[in-house]
Amino acid sequence: MRSFRDLYYGRGGEEFETNESFQMISSTWAILGIKSLKPYGFIRTLHVAFGYIGLVMCPVVFVVGFIQVTKQTSSMTVILTALQVSLNSLGLPVKAFVRVIYLDRLRSVEPIFKGLDERYQNPQGRFAIRDNVIQSAHLFVTLLALYLAHCTVSLPTSLYMHTQPLNIWLPLVDWIPHPTIQFWSHFVIEVVYVYFLLMAQCMNDIYPAVYIKAIRTHISLLVDRVSRLGENPELTDEDNYHELIDCVRSHQELLQISSAVGSVVSITLFIQFLVAATVLCVCMLNLFLFADASHRAQTIVYYLCVLMQTSLPCFYASMLEMDCAKLPDAIFHCNWWKMNKRSRSVLIYFLHRAQKEISFVALKFFQINVGTFLSIAKFSFSLYTFMNQMGLGQNIKNQLE
């Protein structure tokens, strides 16, 4: 197994494989205790138990914490900050459990990717696979840093104001009678727990983009391979026929991968689409009407994280649709006139099959692409505009003042 640093910088003597782009996500899930490691033992079982307990308790501690905040303070900035986090926490355990339940489907594509990698031994193909792994590592680091920045930005403000970052509910800690011990115990445990949840949330949101990106890489390689059919004068008609059959087989395997990945991605993104519009609306309401300078920075970072949760998979899904549209053109413009009748018959079949683009649908309700992402963002802005024009936010602000 290649180290993370080698994956990030593209180092190592061995050739890169597409499955290495999933290695960082799988390792992080193992660190969080959501994915068990072999051999099983008491310590690892306890580690997994704590991981699942942390996920199950996530909505409870945030919702109860939000209720406590509304009773203890009249600041709408603090209330809305707690509300936007609580709403997003509702989907976290569901998405995590869906991914764990359907983990075998994601693992089933790894042998197929391995077989596809073996078809590209030329320098151009190996470079494209290596580039995909490196870009996936960069995407992993960037997204994880952005997610963790949300909690990190709130720490100085919380320490300065002597408050908890997200005001979650920790029953055993909150019952400590000594105020100083209770505050610092709650602060440390909350920060550690929130970092755990942010890492789990990041893994839930990044895996669709990484898998779709891997499919894009192989679609692009297939398009380039198909466009060169019949150009090599050293190949016989039989060689060209076998090369064409192998291209058809590669396309069928990519469709199989897309079906397996799409069955998992569609559920998790459907949940995220439902949560995102409401959370974005609360963020904008807090940002433009109630938040002060310190909470405004925290809200902006959180707003970007919520956008990132849906924008990345939607972007890569749209790019995949565009890449798939190039395949029929590559088939039509290859040197088919230099092939025999049997190869041309297969080309017609292949052209017909290639008309169906690879796309993903969130539980048959929402098409996963940039258009849906923009619709979600537009809906949240429209909802905020409606509330603002009705004067709901300003009325609340005047009553508090």
Question: Do 162 and 229 meet the contact criterion of CB atoms below 8 Å apart?
Answer: no
Q: Which two tokens stand for residue 113?
A: 């990717």
Alpha helices in 228-337 (DSSP H): 237-285, 293-333
User: Of 278 and 324, which is predicted with more confidence?
Assistant: 324
Q: 249 is written with which tokens?
A: 């087989």
Instruction: Show the domain range for 223.
Output: 4-400
Coil, strand, or helix at residue 213?
A: helix
Q: First-to-last CA distance in the chain? A: 60
Residue 40: which residues within 8 A CB-CB, separation 6 or more? none
Which range has highest mean pLDDT (171-175, 176-180, 329-333, 383-387)? 329-333
Q: Which DSSP letter does residue 361 get?
A: E
Residue 106 has pLDDT above 90, yes or no: no
Q: What pLDDT is attached to residue 210?
A: 92
Return mean pLDDT, the chain.
81
**Tokens found for residue 389:** 């024009």
3-class SS of residue 367: strand
pLDDT band at residue 77 under the 50/70/90 scheme: confident
164 CB-side CA count, 13 A: 29
How many domains does the structure of the chain reveal?
1
Report the alpha-carbon distance of residue 156 to residue 114 in Å, rounded. Answer: 47
In this structure, the dihedral spanned by the alpha carbons of residues 220, 120, 104 and 192, taken in order and rounded to 10 degrees, is -70
Q: How far is 164 from 81, CA to CA, in rounded Å?
A: 12
pTM of the predicted model, to two decimals?
0.88
Please, are residues 270 and 373 in contact by the beta-carbon 8 Å criterion?
A: no
Query: How sure is the predictor about 390, in pLDDT bands with cuts at 50, 70 and 90?
Result: low
| 359 to 107, 135, 317, 320: CA distances (angstroms) | 20, 22, 7, 8
- Write the CB contacts of 102 (distance below 8 Å, at least 6 apart in sequence): 263, 264, 267
